[in-house]
Amino acid sequence: MQNYKTNCFNSDNLSIKCGDRSINFEKPLVMGILNLTPDSFYDGGSYLNKAAILKRSEQILSEGAEIIDLGAYSTRPGAADVSAEQEILRLIPAVECIRKEFPDAILSIDTFRAEVAKRIVADFGACIINDISGGTMDDKMFSVIGELKVPYIMMHIKGTPQTMQQNPVYHHLMNDMLAFFRLQIKRLNEFGAKDIIIDPGFGFGKTLDHNYEIIANLQEFNQLDLPILIGVSRKSMIYKFLGGDPSTSLNGTTALNMMALDQGANILRVHDVKEAVECVKLYSKIKSSLQ
């Protein structure tokens, strides 16, 4: 293993604020996925009523995740578009019941729409906004994040969910991605937003080889001096290489998550929380034994 630093960004910035909650990065964190969509690539249609939503939320938290990430718009390649109104209608009852049952839970709202972000934060208080477009699909998003003063996950994407896998080409993959992040971070900072997390966007406008090149060079993002989120959970980059399908891709997910931790990842976004938490514990144990 190559990287044994406690964190990959400035030691003066070990935490970010989400309302009155502090998110601390002294050790890697786990974010559990809760899809509210009928057509997500792995568990679409599993959490469409309050009982199922609360059961999944309890599982995510009891298995050791610090954050619940709620998505109401399927971003699998080629997924159908849904309106902002439909997205909000899916989110409101879910966020409402989670807030009531688990008031201390840190919630992340997976949306690229400023309108959705503003509505949910206005109705339910501070949440992380997890934007798969990095501010490229709604020109109001950055101003809204600056206004809301909430943490923002800036993901890299090439194209849109409907077009992103149609022959993505880069001049130089890592340099192109770093240039994207630098530009978007500068733009977002100009609106007063400071609590930014970056996500390389595995599978979002990347070929199979691109995805593995990013994993191999993940430490290059450390120069941005921001926390790094990794989302490879059960994605096609695993089963298209090893064979199988999303249901058989837990072991590959775990292997890549451990590699990502070694390369400086601060958050693992996963379907399988228990296994990701075990990754963090084992990684932390190995790291502590070297000190």
Alpha carbons 44 and 190: distance in angstroms, whole number: 37
**235 a catalytic residue:** yes
User: Of all helices (H) and strands (E), which one includes residue 240?
Assistant: helix 236-242
Report whether 36 contacts 47 (CB < 8 A). yes
Tokens of 290: 């070297």
Catalytic residue among 5, 235, 281, 285: 235
Catalytic residue among 140, 269, 285, 287: 269
Q: Do residues 272 and 250 lie in contact, with contact meaning Cβ atoms separated by under 8 Å?
A: yes
The secondary structure of 94-148 as a DSSP string is HHHHHHHH-TT-EEEEE-S-HHHHHHHHHHH---EEEETTTTSS-TTHHHHHHHH
Phi, psi (rounded to 5 degrees) for 99: -60, -40
> Is the CB of residue 221 less than 8 Å from the CB of residue 213?
no
Distances from the Cα of 154 to the Cαs of 68, 209, 290, in angstroms?
17, 22, 33
Is 182 one of the annotated active-site residues of the chain? Answer: no
Q: Which residues are catalytic?
A: 235, 269
